[in-house]
């Protein structure tokens, strides 16, 4: 039972780390957006 809890915690930590990484990438894209202005 403890092994299962540990595995679940590892999975959740892994998912949270990936979500944080995605958020960082999204912020980089958002920050870069003004550089690609389509204003004429």
Q: For residue 33, report the phi and psi dihedrals to the nearest 5 degrees.
A: -50, -45
Interval 1-40: pLDDT, tens = 688 899 999 999 999 999 999 999 998 888 876 665 666 6
pLDDT at 14: 97
pLDDT at 32: 76
> pTM of this prediction?
0.62
pLDDT at 23: 95
pLDDT at 3: 87
């Amino acid at each position: 039972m403890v092994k299962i809890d540990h595995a679940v915690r590892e999975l959740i930590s892994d998912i949270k780390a990936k979500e944080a990484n995605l958020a960082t990438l999204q912020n980089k894209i958002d920050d870069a957006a003004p550089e690609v202005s389509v204003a004429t």
